[in-house]
Structure 1
Amino acid sequence: MNTNKLIAAILLLFFFGQRTEAQIHSKNYEKKIDSLILTGFGNKGEPGGVFMISRKGKTVYRKAFGKANLELDVNMTPDHVFQIGSMTKQFTAVAILMLEQQGKLKVTDPVSQYIKEYPGGDKISIHHLLTHTSGIKDFTKMKSLSTIAQKEMKPEAMVDFFKNEPVDFAPGEKFDYNNSGYVILGYIIELVSGDTYEHFIKKNIFDKAGMAHSYYASDRKVIPGRAYGYHQKEHGFVNKTVISFSVPFSSGSLMSTADDMLKWQKALNQNILLNPEETQKAYQKYTLNSGEEFTYGYGWHLKDINGIPDREHGGSIFGFKSMGVYIPSEDIYVTGFSNCDCHSPTEITRNIAKATLDEVRTTVKKP
């Protein structure tokens, strides 16, 4: 075989390989994903959602369902911007690790090192806040929350709102999902960086990752491509309850798109934001004081799908729900957003990830 023929053969093999990879996601696969989504997002006249799947950084499925705005009869598109609720915690956790990487704090530091008067702050570490093991009262469970829900709250005032509440348990004794801990983390980010949480996230994460359509939430700013949020009542749909985003703050006040969340995942994978050592801290399981392991890292639940480890997190805030699942071994990332808190994308997103994992593994096994 002469040189030209050899090159042609190699190129043919290369392109055949590329084509096979692209064909992993067949028409039957697409129909299966459609059917999974339509179980909860099948009514075109209702608020809807966006679902996206990527494999090895390439988008293989990206579709919108239902309406982005009922009053204006605007169809949802994959480009619409959603409030992502508690998926915000991923960004807060990474921001803390960025500050640790810069030598400005350590996750082992006590809260009292930054917030001098915090009750019991010498026993509660940043690590406890990140892993929901602090025992601090979750402000979302406080009856008095309604008194501040629509007030503009400074981070210090938010911390003051719950800091004197009785603790639920001693630090490190239990895992109990907690929004207050992530509000304190946002306040620490501001104290250590000398910047606002909003600007720190934009400058150090959104801008670096190329997330041009991600924001700190606002009901007053004009946000291009905003999907409007809804509740469902007995008589039909109503606009979402208005709250001050300074209340959920760094525990749940960010907005994004499906495409931007893929950029986020790529930035994490490529160590654009953190070095591998700091990144690993977010993705590892930790233990309680008893030595018992729990399935949460820093900003991610660490679970599995059919025995295959995944990282996932959802979000819920008035008018919106969100979910993201990442399977590291196959580089599969699935996101699901809803603009009605009546439609949850959580199980649908997990089922899509499972179906995609099955499809990839079945196709790879074929001769």
Structure 2
Amino acid sequence: MRTAALLPSCLLAACTSGGGTMQSTAERVDSMMAAYDGQVPGAALLVVRDGVPVVRKGYGLADLERGIAVGPDTNFRLASVSKQFTAAAILLLAQDGALSLDDPVRRWLPSLPAAADGITVHHLLSHTSGLVDYEDVMPDAIEGQLHDADVLRLLETQDRLYFAPGSDYRYSNSGYALLALVVGRASGQDFATFLRDRIFRPLGMDNTLAFEDGVSTVPRRAYGYSASGDGWTRTDQSSTSAVLGDGGIYSSIDDLAKWDAALRDDRLLSDASRALAFTAHTATDEANVDGYGYGWRLHGEGADRLLWHSGETIGFRNVILRWPEKGLTVVLLTNRNDPEPYALARRIAAEFQ
């Protein structure tokens, strides 16, 4: 079952040539998305050009057990696509004067060990802190799930860094978990409430939230699955799924269209704040290919400049691609463990460039 798409006829109407009918853009996109269609874990696809959704479509199922189809309002766990919202929360607090990006992280989280003395908020945002990965020091068996505060408690036992702050890059979920706690300390609100009050509600992202089990409910929720033999097994949560700052937000392509619109002007973040988010502060593991800003990967330059981020966690694989100078955005959210959708999203984007 598929939802209706908003597709301008000037872009997606079938063309004729020499009496034959060529495949339309809509048909080519559907063909590329065929693996997500039918009675299988699905996907939601958004393509925005010059501020207008030209593709807004669901494929497959959000809930296999109940046979619920994916629609444009289905909410997927964003995984690391969440990091751009964590970064935006910090930038809003910097705009407010509630914190500085140059603040030592121990100003806000003084229980961190002495090894963290040189780490600033900027280092956390840009993955240049050198913090130990909390996943590497978790107990082999834990009851329930870790939360951001548990990440802090784990790091309190690690009086060491991988490298001196600012001297190298290493992607750090630990850093973004700590940023969620910094948001709470600097704002006087918990992280989920700050996001709701300062980002989601002002932008009309009414169904987007940092999910807290037992506290909040995800409306129209997609559940995550992994291939198992000839079928699928629900693999929706892991022991780290409750850590919010690095990947705990749920959203839909409808709400992410509103987020994309807000990134085009100063309705939420100032020009200066967006420039900071979209500037490469460090090279990444993909040397000479990608840089990293604040919650965004940066690729290329000039008219081909791409801002992007993926999100991978058990049961979900997502990606957002934005070409600001071309006015083009592609968002692809999926509720299955494999494959990563980056290459597919790039192929879809090529249909609209």
Settle same-fold status: TM greater than 0.5.
yes
The reply to whether residue 54 of structure 1 matches residue 48 of structure 2 is: yes
2:250 partner SS: strand
In the alignment, which residue of structure 2 is the partner of 1:144?
Answer: 139
In the alignment, which residue of structure 2 is the partner of 1:339?
Answer: 335
| Cα 1:330–1:197 shift into 2, 3 Å | same
Greater Cα shift, 205-214 or 299-308: 299-308
Residue type at the aligned position of 1:225: R
Residue 268 of structure 1, CA deviation: 1.9
| Cα 1:144–1:250 shift into 2, 3 Å | same
The reply to whether residue 208 of structure 1 matches residue 208 of structure 2 is: no
Which of 220, 231, 238 is the matching residue for 1:236? Answer: 231
Residue type at the aligned position of 2:155: F
In the alignment, which residue of structure 1 is the partner of 2:18?
Answer: none
Please give the alpha-carbon distance, in whole angstroms, between the structure 2 residues aligned to 1:234 and 1:162.
Answer: 39
In the alignment, which residue of structure 2 is the partner of 1:35?
Answer: 31
| Cα 1:244–1:215 shift into 2, 3 Å | farther
Residue type at the aligned position of 2:246: S
CA contact (8 A) 1:41 1:343 kept: no
| Cα 1:58–1:307 shift into 2, 3 Å | closer
- Deviations for 1:254-304, whole angstroms, at most 9, x for unmatched residues? 00000100101111212111110111100001247xxx9860100000013
CA contact (8 A) 1:306 1:354 kept: no
Residue 76 of structure 1, CA deviation: 2.0
Residue 235 of structure 1, CA deviation: 5.0
Please give the alpha-carbon distance, in whole angstroms, between the structure 2 residues aligned to 1:245 and 1:144.
Answer: 12
The reply to whether residue 322 of structure 1 matches residue 309 of structure 2 is: no
Which of 162, 168, 176 is the matching residue for 1:182? Answer: 176
In the alignment, which residue of structure 2 is the partner of 1:296?
Answer: 292
CA contact (8 A) 1:131 1:296 kept: yes
Which of 341, 345, 352 is the matching residue for 1:349? Answer: 345
In the alignment, which residue of structure 2 is the partner of 1:281?
Answer: 276
Please give the alpha-carbon distance, in whole angstroms, between the structure 2 residues aligned to 1:222 and 1:116.
Answer: 33
In the alignment, which residue of structure 2 is the partner of 1:194?
Answer: 188
In the alignment, which residue of structure 2 is the partner of 1:162?
Answer: 155
Please give the alpha-carbon distance, in whole angstroms, between the structure 1 residues aligned to 2:306 and 2:217.
Answer: 36
The reply to whether residue 74 of structure 1 matches residue 61 of structure 2 is: no
Which of 126, 131, 135 is the matching residue for 2:126? Answer: 131
Please give the alpha-carbon distance, in whole angstroms, between the structure 1 residues aligned to 2:81 and 2:342.
Answer: 12
Greater Cα shift, 131-140 or 215-224: 215-224
The reply to whether residue 105 of structure 1 matches residue 99 of structure 2 is: yes
CA contact (8 A) 1:133 1:171 kept: yes
Residue 335 of structure 1, CA deviation: 0.4
2:305 partner SS: strand
In the alignment, which residue of structure 2 is the partner of 1:45?
Answer: 39
Residue 124 of structure 1, CA deviation: 0.6
Unmatched segments (≥5 aa) in structure 2: 1-7, 15-23
Please give the alpha-carbon distance, in whole angstroms, between the structure 2 residues aligned to 1:186 and 1:224.
Answer: 23
Question: Would you tell me which structure has more helix in proportion to its own residues?
Answer: 1
- Deviations for 1:286-325, whole angstroms, at most 9, x for unmatched residues? 247xxx9860100000013997111001112222121100
Residue 186 of structure 1, CA deviation: 0.5
- Deviations for 1:151-171, whole angstroms, at most 9, x for unmatched residues? 364x43321113433321111
In the alignment, which residue of structure 1 is the partner of 2:304?
Answer: 308
1:252 partner SS: coil
Which of 220, 223, 227 is the matching residue for 2:222? Answer: 227
Which of 250, 253, 258 is the matching residue for 1:258? Answer: 253
Residue 26 of structure 1, CA deviation: 4.0
Residue type at the aligned position of 2:277: A
Residue type at the aligned position of 1:105: L
2:310 partner SS: strand
CA contact (8 A) 2:308 2:322 kept: yes
Residue type at the aligned position of 2:332: G
The reply to whether residue 96 of structure 1 matches residue 90 of structure 2 is: yes
Determine what percentage of the aligned residue pairs are the same residue.
Answer: 30
Residue 25 of structure 1, CA deviation: 4.1
In the alignment, which residue of structure 2 is the partner of 1:23?
Answer: 10
Greater Cα shift, 303-312 or 254-263: 303-312
Unmatched segments (≥5 aa) in structure 1: 1-20, 358-367
TM-score, length basis structure 2: 0.86
| Cα 1:280–1:326 shift into 2, 3 Å | same
Please give the alpha-carbon distance, in whole angstroms, between the structure 2 residues aligned to 1:145 and 1:174.
Answer: 29
CA contact (8 A) 2:73 2:252 kept: yes
| Cα 1:218–1:189 shift into 2, 3 Å | closer
TM-score, length basis structure 1: 0.83
CA contact (8 A) 2:223 2:236 kept: no
CA contact (8 A) 1:93 1:299 kept: yes
1:251 partner SS: coil
1:315 partner SS: strand
| Cα 1:23–1:345 shift into 2, 3 Å | same
| Cα 1:306–1:237 shift into 2, 3 Å | farther
- Deviations for 1:74-122, whole angstroms, at most 9, x for unmatched residues? 2222221111111110000010000000111111111121122322232
Residue 45 of structure 1, CA deviation: 1.6
Q: Which has the larger radius of gyration?
A: 1
Please give the alpha-carbon distance, in whole angstroms, between the structure 2 residues aligned to 1:323 and 1:98.
Answer: 24
